[in-house]
Amino acid sequence: MSDHVIISHRQVVPLLKAHQEGRHVVATSLDLGISEVEVVIESDHAVLGPGITLSVEMMEEIGRDRNACFLVNSGKARKIQTFSEHTNLFYSLLPTNSAPTLMISGIPMHRIKDTNPWLDSQSKVQALGRISGRVLDTCTGLGYTAILAARQAASVITVEVDPVVLELARLNPWSKELFSDPKIRQIVGSTVEEIGDFGNDMFSYIIHDPPTIGLAGDLYSGGFYRELHRVLRPRGRLFHYTGDPGSKLGRNTARGVARRLREVGFAKVQPKDEAFGLVAYRGA
């Protein structure tokens, strides 16, 4: 049994309602919606597990915060958030009706409007069609695309520039397979630098889901795209997230990305609006 649980306002609200109504047992989730358990409600606290309690006062505090996930242990609760001296960025977990998303300095790294981070990640993987062989996931984040790709592929190599992000992923119940699936190999470092160590034609598929161009312009450069083309096998496919095709920024980003991909040798580039990106094909 873990010595902590991860919850948000979504899981605390049923506990507060039960306490107000005088009920002593209520079902909720202690892993951000993956599973459901029964929780005992006492007069001034809830018992979340052996040695893990949460006072009514703390539950009310969590219930008021719609933008944070909390780690609860030893009778205390703290927001899952941190500042990285490596990148000078602030990271946190934002709860949703499904898996949480990673926030980087207030910007969500998954789509959350009319969808959720898990479905968003599924759409990116599905844009590539049926996956097999070895996959490169250029930006690990919380690991959702790596996890979903590994359920089909022979193996996945995933690269994350900031070790602080992986610390948050370790706390996130939805990221568990990132650390337990033997088919997933993690590399901590800059993809721009690490890709030089990969052999020619090494990957059957590449998932490139970078932060915005303002945060990571080098991941949108022609030089980096040339390396993606080199490590992708002939007839291999690349998915590249570009943003909302209905927005001016998304359209402009997609046009620039498509042009640079063609310039470095990709034979065909097709929009995948349902995944907010495009798929590029390497020729034979």
In this structure, the answer to whether residues 257 and 203 fall within a common structural domain is yes
Cβ–Cβ under 8 Å, residues 143 and 178:
yes
Q: Which residues of the chain have pLDDT under 70?
A: 1
In this structure, the answer to whether residues 46 and 173 fall within a common structural domain is no
In this structure, the answer to whether residues 123 and 74 fall within a common structural domain is no
In this structure, the answer to whether residues 137 and 239 fall within a common structural domain is yes
Given 79, 99, 129, the domain boundary residue is: 79
Q: Give the C-alpha separation, 218 to 202, whole Å.
A: 22
pTM of the predicted protein model: 0.94
Given 59, 79, 99, the domain boundary residue is: 79
In this structure, the answer to whether residues 47 and 131 fall within a common structural domain is no
In this structure, the answer to whether residues 54 and 121 fall within a common structural domain is no
Residue 166 lies in domain: 110-281
Distance in Å from the first CA to the final CA of the chain: 52
Can you point out the beta strands (E) in 95-230? 101-104, 107-108, 134-137, 155-160, 184-188, 203-208
Residue 104 lies in a domain: no
What pLDDT, on a 0 to 100 scale, did the predictor assign at position 104? 93
Number of domains making up the chain: 2
In this structure, the answer to whether residues 203 and 122 fall within a common structural domain is yes
In this structure, the answer to whether residues 114 and 214 fall within a common structural domain is yes
In this structure, the answer to whether residues 133 and 214 fall within a common structural domain is yes
Residue 94 lies in a domain: no
What pLDDT, on a 0 to 100 scale, did the predictor assign at position 216? 86
Residue 12 lies in a domain: yes
Given 79, 98, 128, the domain boundary residue is: 79
Residue 169 lies in a domain: yes
Cβ–Cβ under 8 Å, residues 49 and 1:
yes
Residue 209 lies in a domain: yes
Q: Give the C-alpha separation, 30 to 8, whole Å.
A: 9
Pick the closest to residue 262 from 236, 281, 234, 241 (CA basis).
281
Under 8 Å CB-to-CB from 93, ≥6 apart: which residues? 68, 69, 80, 81, 100, 101, 102, 103, 168, 171, 172
In this structure, the answer to whether residues 238 and 136 fall within a common structural domain is yes
Q: Give the C-alpha separation, 98 to 120, whole Å.
A: 11
Which CATH number goes with the domain that contains 210? Answer: 3.40.50.150
Residue 268 lies in a domain: yes
In this structure, the answer to whether residues 68 and 175 fall within a common structural domain is no
What pLDDT, on a 0 to 100 scale, did the predictor assign at position 223? 97
In this structure, the answer to whether residues 175 and 235 fall within a common structural domain is yes
Q: Rounded to the nearest 5°, which phi and psi values hold at 60?
A: -65, -40
What pLDDT, on a 0 to 100 scale, did the predictor assign at position 214? 82
What pLDDT, on a 0 to 100 scale, did the predictor assign at position 125? 98
Residue 85 lies in a domain: no
